[in-house]
Structure 1
């Protein structure tokens, strides 16, 4: 259009569409300072910028809450991992011998690799891949962690040699999980999931920074520690 003077500052006289979520309009003339600051950030120390972003986006609580997680997406991953026809999926994905816990981890990893930006609006969901050393949302599943790393390393090494089967398998895993999400719409129950993961950790030597999980002891200590540091779960006064 002859009236367009800049493609980054008020290029449109109007936009027609369905009203959705609030957006950041960086093409608005009033966003000139913001655009300039974004450019300036590219000249700053990368590590300092990343640290600042973490501080800005972190919540005021440490435990994983239902509002932190897209339960439908997490439910799709769990359904994929524990599907009754898991052997068929493994044959398809060339990941024969991988158990449901490692497949759950790989499904979340595949989403990090192949998912678009909209998939990362609830980063807390990815903490369920193998758990966390602080016991949030549950202790580390060392077997799943080791197997996930092994498959990713193998995928990278074979890709260097021109064999992309495992890389393609991860992409198919992501698409298969998305298919479950859209067609079956399962939803994870966070409390039940955390309880089950903690039980598994107690039965199979789950790990935290304090060492192996001690049944009936580690979870109680960590719950007390986190409530002292961050307040009780559900307390919005912090």
Structure 2
């Protein structure tokens, strides 16, 4: 593990009740201050920033470098935001709670005066992009959807790499998304992998067009193409062989795919794609039954048979390190120091008084922020937990 970078490893154990209660109080104060200053949209913009999110996690006293920094912080935010009248609601969460996202979005959207259907569709597509559209060995297990009364939305979701027991967090913000299958993220935090099957990279646009065309040909034809791709990887040169093929290390290509899981076209999903006549890659990913193995199958065929590869660039953007915020109250695992209840309660008391006098709070907090703006924590305090 690299010291100084939050790698989000899996931690055992739970957060004690006394700390959860204080986390909730501090998160409530932060949310109220942010909404008061920047509005509901400003809150979502910050939640969709990987560094801000990690800093908030550190501020409230969660482990500075654990996978729980996503699940616990999101759960606290969900409880706080949904209990406040600020024009924002949160759906979903970890494990089984992520499956409740559509039903919760139906309820929350109506409460905010919005049509729930687009948000339910978006939630599903966002999850599909980060589980099938991008593949780096992480299995999605956390999905939280934030929606504001003006229609703005944000998503914080996380995947776990089982063999390494390390997580990766993906952030989305509606104002950042021009095309949900073309460089859509506001940020991705975690550990950079040597490669990732990235079908939503900007440079993979030709692949996305070809994948839609291939899906129209049906499962049997795709299976035939897979056999042809395997033959090419074994040294076979098709009759249409020409010079560009000489630059392809087919065995190395197949090895990359096999490390993610062997490509296998899922018949039900491909049959649905053919019957419905999908016209875009986002439509293709949105079909139930088009999962990671089918995307790998389409990518392998595109790369070895049609010489139209996806991208293998890992889209990770933030090996996040807002460690200084862990000095506010300490950390659950005693890094940089144990959480002190007295200090935590004093902080909550001070913020409570500031919130009662909103006319002064903004100026005071800005002055306080200047005191630590240029301060960096001692490197030796950055101990992996």
Tell whether the structures are fold-level matches, with TM greater than 0.5: no
* TM tier, smaller: under 0.3
Report which of the two has the higher share of strand: 2
Report which of the two has the higher share of helix: 1
TM-score with structure 1 setting the length: 0.26
